[in-house]
A and B are shown apart, each in its own frame.
Chain A
């Protein structure tokens, strides 16, 4: 559903296009501090990002951000979230796609779409323990392989 209160016409068009194309899959669209953020179902992340890339021209992945909402806020929202910060050259548009992931769940890898997601997904795996299906080489990136635990989880002990 295109939101009337988006005051940037280009981002409004993006939100509209996503809503028209995916409808139900878009769980939430927010526009705060001039930033467009959409929340989608985990199984729809590949089609949504593919649409954003090929149809709407978001040709670069700025960053991937892992979030831990510990303790889990409720039934509807799961514990973890992965945010994809996308970017469009040269119009300077940004959109943030959020995906909720539960404990022990896996989400599809987007390395095929955005090559730069390779290390970013490894970092999230390292720090949060989220698995990405189809990632070519999902190993820890910062910490040694034998390290136990995932430090950016909120329940990771701060003192040994």
Chain B
């Protein structure tokens, strides 16, 4: 007797939907026949709100988009505004931004690692990776003053200069993190259960990944060596040496391996930036009431989740005419159905985890 297909609502209240996401599933026993993400539970109308805020006031609001990588959002927005103004940023400020954003990438990847492993059932990894993340958040607290919604970029640079105690904290973190990462890799990399849960699960081909517009680690896991930091350098990324990790299979395990390698590369970039930190200003003065002549601009950066972009259209006043955000999680979530159709119900959780979505960024 064939098992009747049942409709299953996963979320909006469910332990592993990373926020308030609802997945409408049709399952045949355990096999997923169809899947539809339902989003909008966290929709705050950010884009509408931005139209009534000044350019400076928008920055703290971008913290609330991808709340696990607030500084990356700050940077993407601030760079877009600076491009619109034609503002040149001092070299030291650019390096400080790189340090902040790479630390943020570490924090975001570490949070992802913990949640992903927890979704697959390895709950201890969450606590180990959060120990590392805590160290980075302490750095943010000491440097900028907040841990999660950091608000650590200003139009024209970064709000504070980097002082020696914070440099010491960063150097200590750079030494500590690889040790604990090695422990986590010992727990997961060879583990047969982890491999069962990740290898060949949620695979997507290179062509599909491009068609769906996947970006970031999810795209690199399919074999496309695409990293905006390297290919369209911004904020002095061309000064640093780093590798762009690429894997071929496009499955959950490859996404995991790509991100683990990115953690190492980020550590490398931070180390280089600290060693070569140029002297100079950390913030250039911009007029207090910032009026930007009419124009439009689209600027993207490589955020931890993928390609994060801001389209800004100005109209000559101190408020933008329109700000549109291209959020990587929104794009990546769209391909969830392709990845998980025909897989088991348990795998949907793992695939969702491996995509590293944040609902604050999807719903805007």
> Which chain A residues have a beta carbon within 8 Å of chain B's beta carbons?
32-33, 35, 37, 59-63, 65-68, 83, 85, 89-90, 92, 94, 96, 114-116, 118-119, 127, 140-144, 151-152, 156, 158
Distance A35 CA – B311 CA, assembled complex (angstroms): 12
Q: B232 at interface (Cβ–Cβ under 8 A)?
A: yes
Is residue B169 within 8 Å, beta carbon to beta carbon, of the partner chain?
A: no
Q: Please report the number of residue pairs spanning A and B whose Cβ atoms sit closer than 8 angstroms.
A: 81
B108 on the interface (CB 8 Å rule)?
Answer: no
| 10 CB < 8 A contacts A-B | A62-B326, A63-B298, A63-B326, A85-B326, A89-B226, A96-B298, A115-B213, A127-B47, A142-B39, A156-B48
Contact A33 B86 (CB under 8 A): yes
Residue B90 is within 8 A (CB to CB) of chain A in the complex: no
| Docked pose: A97 CA to B298 CA in angstroms | 12
Interface of B is mostly: mixed
Residues of chain A with a CB closer than 8 A to B298's CB: 35, 62-63, 85, 94, 96
Task: For B322, list chain A residues within 8 Å (CB).
Answer: 65, 67-68
B249 vs chain A, min Cβ distance (A): 19
Q: Is the CB of B52 within 8 A of A60?
A: no
Contact A143 B40 (CB under 8 A): yes
Question: In the complex, which residue of chain A has the Cβ closest to the Cβ of B85?
Answer: A33
Number of B residues whose C-beta is below 8 Å from A? 37
Query: Considering the chains assembled together, what is the distance between the CA atoms of A152 and B320 in angstroms?
Result: 13
- Beta-carbon contacts under 8 Å, B166-216 to A: 208, 210-213
Chain A residues whose CB sits within 8 angstroms of the CB of B307 once the complex forms: 62
In the complex, the chain B residue whose C-beta lies closest to that of A151 is B48
Q: Residue B24 at the A interface, CB < 8 A? A: no
* A92: contacting residue among B211, B225, B232, CB under 8 A: B232
Q: Which residues of B contact A66 (CB under 8 A)?
A: 324
